[in-house]
Structure 1
Amino acid sequence: MEELQAGVKSASRLFTWEEIKFFSGQGHPQQERWLVIDRKVYDIGKFYHHHPGGSKVIRHYTGQDATDAFVAFHPDKALVRKYMRSLLIGKLAPDQPSFEPHKNKLLVQDFRELCSTVERMGLLKPSGLFFFLNFLQIPLFQAASWLILWYFRMSLMSLVISAVLMATSMQQCLVLQHDLGHLSVFCKTKWNHLAQFVVMGSFAGFSCSWWNHLHGQHHAKTNCFRKDPDVNLHPFLFTLGKKLSVELGMKKKKFLPYNHQHKYFFITVPPFLFSTYIQFYTFYHIIQRKQWLDLACVLSYFIWLFLLYKPLLELKALLGYIVLIRVLNSIWTAWVTQMSHIPMNIDYDKNMDWFSTQLQGTCNVHQSIFNDWFTGHLNFQIEHHLFPRMPRHNFYKVAPMVKSLCVKHGAKYHCKPLLTAFADIVWSLKESGDLWLDAYLHK
């Protein structure tokens, strides 16, 4: 009874934003980490290591308002709040705004109204038929790949066509597991997680726990240096963003000739991102964290691929075939994923509101049947980042509402043709490389 009364008394404490920012875990002896959700203050100092979505995702919001991120990531918010009660230490004082004073109050309120509208319209509910048809193409492409080799026997042409079909199947696996990882395929979280293990591991040969560990951070703090791991993947190969490139040049750091990075990008990231780098980190992450179920799923991919194709190919040809599949898939995935982020604003975390963070860090590609399929609806990257749990077949429905909100508040809604988006990757690398060189030589 005394503990309950103490908890109630603690939860009734009032705080200011200055106090909350002080307890952000940086240099404080007790390592207390406070954040705000719906005006309530929580200390996650002893919890963030056990956070199901990963410790860094929630830790990136210490000292900040995490309300919109909380709403975006959690489907069953009522259940999660029950577990949060033990972390509750108080609430914002009545004279304190609901979010940091520097944020645009009207924009935040309008976006939260849009979130409520999205819920009422049922745009977060998945279509079973849509995802069934998307899954169906995976075994169909794989069957076509095997039949090409079986019918035409061993030839360079049949090998290449078969590899293209298998790479297409794998690409659709990665897109589907992305949906599952965002809990947008099934209504129950557990079903999404179980299906993701199978699709990502057994059908594509990658670790879904590794992907979930990094991808949540990417969405939480998009294009924020040191917080978005997708930006931090290139610390030695590339310099990204205008400000960071100048900063690196002024520090006289030169791991590579970054003024040529737009040239060596073609022979580094696209062919090797998934075929080498991510494949290596898949096994590294699994072994380091002892994710043995994940390991079993990943190994099962290579086992069934070997058993299915060994009767058709000699061992050397089979190994070359697997490498070719990986390279083709890596090229596809690298261009599609990088086109929406590398050309956009990359900077340190400025603690902007959720809407502004995602608008500055993402861009869209024009809608078409081909673009939707080829990118797995990641041509709607803005809508996906604003509403990460939304099933992708609903992105086009919410896009006009997002555009309207952008017009109202003078926010830039970036949308471009597919080939222009690809070209912008190269041009942005050239621009940041030139900025680095200028700072390196003259400042």
Structure 2
Amino acid sequence: MAPARGLQEAGVGASARRFTWEEIGLRTGRGHPQQERWLVIDRKVYDISQFYRRHPGGSRVISSYAGQDATDPFEAFHIDKKLVKKYMSSLLIGELEPDQPSFEPSKNKLLTEDFQELRTTVERMGLFNPSHLFFFLLLLHILLLDAAGWFVLWFFGTSFVPFLTAAVLLTIAQSQAGFLQHDLGHLSVFSSTKWNHLVHEFVMSHLKGLSAHWWSLHHSQHHAKPNCFHKDPDISMHPFLFALGKILSVELGLKKKKFMPYNYQHKYFFFTMPLLVVPVFQVYSLYFIFQRKLWRELAWTLTYFIRFFLFFEPLLGVKGVLGLLLLLNVAESILFTWISQMNHIPMHIDYDNNMDWFSTQLQATCNVHQSLFNDWFTGHLNFQIEHHLFPRMPRHNYWKAAPLVKSLCAKHGIEYQSKPLLSGFADILHSLKDSGELWLDAYLHGSGVQGMVWACGDH
């Protein structure tokens, strides 16, 4: 199909406009007089200036690619791409000039082409097809763990050992429910977006008491630009709690910023994030539900607390139930933080340098060695590399994609990091200690590692 004809069928007309990457790069929504936001998908140029606030996946997700090529993230996040492009036709304003490359100069052309070929290969292998039996058994084992926690207290009483046993079972149930909602939020359990969303609400709101909509908006931003400061909300605690990454830590020091004694962050980490993340999520999630008037999610969330009180109040009393709720939140927070951060905090953290999709994900993620325990304990997030490259892929297929990803890494000289589980945990502390020392050196002496002083410039 000729370019002019393709645009004409899309509703742009025969006299379609042509653009250069330089023109598109100015439309980021920042600094441009009209605050325009443009992006490119398959060489087509879309103006999202008015649409981005209505984007179903969240305004920040799509805005993070304003002024850039968004072909690979578009492919990664959407199930029915033909339907989505149909609705996008009203945003189409033109295409790249014929002499313009398909990829921006900052991106590795050969690597991008090889990754797109890899994505086609895994699709043909059926690795995006979910096993409903697998996910049904996951849900069943979560419900059984939940029921076992109650049964222990009912049958053995509420003395210390039964109470501790029940708390462990319930914490594991909550952790595993968190991994299942993660699958549903990534649209990897059903082939229908609608069914993924409906069951996601049930698991997230009824089994965990949190907002599914809030989680999806938050987590999609992380996947769009992982470990990119100002774009990844998972590193938004920088610099209020932690100095993360070498570049940002030196920048903080050179600017004489000291919100916390970062040279001790590897020690106070134990008393901050692991203890506070889930309890804070619980409070903010309720605020989000009321703010967005998500009444169906509110109803599901209330059933979580009602069910919990109905089952455990006769055994523990009101104070005991509240104490158990707090204990479960804190215990799950510890599991969630260590499991989720072992793949990211030790990796490269920087501003958005508009790299290709494959490089962006590989520099921000690492794996933990495969084993039956590691797969179950981490909800298959030990395959963080494969998950970030293919966020819609059902987790039971990561191990099949891993050899292909390793081969592509080897071809292009990119390190494919995989480590033991305990090493992953230890690396969180090692990286916090290293970045804290870099901050202190820059703060006291105005120095930093070679090549990082540029970080104090404008970004």
Does the TM-score normalized on the shorter chain lie above 0.5? yes
Residue aligned with 1:205, SS: coil
C-alpha separation in 2, matches of 1:216 and 1:288: 20
RMSD (CA atoms): 1.3
Task: Identify the match of residue 245 of structure 1 among 219, 243, 249.
Answer: 249
Aligned to 1:38: 42
Structure 1 counterpart of 2:147, one-letter code: A
Asked if structure 2 preserves the Cα contact closer than 8 Å seen for 1:362 and 1:382, the reply is yes
Code of the residue aligned with 1:361 in structure 2: it is A
CA contact (8 A) 1:245 1:432 kept: yes
Residues 289, 11 of structure 1: CA spacing in aligned structure 2 closer, same or farther, 3 A cutoff?
farther
Q: Number of residues paired by the alignment? A: 439
Cα shift readout 1:287-308 (whole Å, capped 9, x = no counterpart): 2222222222222111100011
**Residues 22-421 of structure 1 correspond to what in structure 2 (within 5 A)?**
22-274=26-278, 276-421=279-424
Deviation at 1:343, TM superposition (A): 0.3
Q: 1:43 to 1:139 in 2, by over 3 A?
A: same
Identity of aligned residues (%): 65
Shift of 1:234: 4.0
* C-alpha distance in structure 2 between counterparts of 1:361 and 1:10, whole Å: 43
Residue 40 of structure 2: SS of its match in structure 1? strand
User: Relative to 1, partners in 2 of residues 1:304 and 1:6: Cα closer, same or farther, differing over 3 Å?
Assistant: closer
Once residues 175 and 238 of structure 2 are traced to their aligned partners in structure 1, the CA distance between those partners, rounded to angstroms, is 23
Runs (4+) of structure 1 exceeding 6 A deviation are none
Once the two structures are superposed, residues 50-100 of structure 1 have per-residue CA deviations (whole angstroms, 9 ceiling, x without a partner) of: 000000100010110000000000010000000010000000111000010
Distance 1:11 1:364, change over 3 A: farther
What SS does the aligned partner of 1:9 have? Answer: coil
Q: Kindly tell me: are residues 213 and 164 of structure 1, through their superposed partners in 2, closer, same or farther at Cα, counting changes over 3 Å?
A: same
Whether 1:430 and 2:433 are equivalent positions in the alignment is yes
CA contact under 8 A between 1:72 and 1:388: conserved in structure 2? yes
SS in 2 for 1:42: strand
- In structure 2, what is the Cα distance between the partners aligned to 1:114 and 1:83? 27
Which letter does structure 1 place at the counterpart of 2:422?
L
Cα distance, 1:126 vs structure 2: 0.1
Could you tell me how far apart the structure 1 residues matched to 2:9 and 2:331 are?
Answer: 62
- Cα distance, 1:5–1:371 mapped onto 2, change above 3 Å: closer
Please give the secondary structure, in 2, of the residue aligned with 1:312.
Answer: helix
Structure 2-normalised TM-score? 0.94
TM-score, normalised with respect to structure 1: 0.97
With over 3 angstroms needed to count, the CA separation of the structure-2 counterparts of 1:173 and 1:7, relative to structure 1, is same
Q: Which residue does 2:449 correspond to in 1?
A: none
- Once the two structures are superposed, what CA deviation does each residue of 1:270-299 show, in whole Å capped at 9, x if it has no partner? 12211x221121122122222222222222
Further displaced range: 166-175 or 385-394: 166-175
Q: How far apart, in 2, do the equivalents of 1:7 and 1:439 lie? A: 55
Deviations 1:116-159 (A, max 9, x none): 00111110000011101101011100111111001111201111
Distance 1:5 1:134, change over 3 A: closer
> What secondary structure sits across from 1:90 in the alignment?
strand
* C-alpha separation in 1, matches of 2:30 and 2:320: 54
**Deviations along 1:308-362, whole A, 9 cap, x unmatched?**
1111112222211111111111111110000000000000000000000000000
Contact 1:343 1:425 (C-alpha < 8 Å) held by counterparts: yes
CA distance in 2 between counterparts of 1:175 and 1:150 reads 27
Structure 1 stretches lacking a partner, 5+ long = none
Deviation string 1:158-192 (CA, Å, 9 cap, x unpaired) is 11110110111111111000000000001100000
Partner residue in 1 for 2:3? none
Opposite residue 188 of structure 2, the aligned amino acid is S
Report the alpha carbon displacement of residue 6 of structure 1 after superposing the two structures with TM.
Answer: 11
Gaps of 5+ in 2: 1-7, 447-459
- Cα distance 1:114–1:356, how it changes in 2: closer, same or farther (>3 A)? same
Q: Secondary structure at the match of 1:8?
A: coil
Q: Distance in 2 between matches of 1:23 and 1:231?
A: 25
Q: How far 1:26 sits from its partner (Å)?
A: 1.4
**For 1:270 and 1:97, how far apart are their aligned partners in 2?**
46
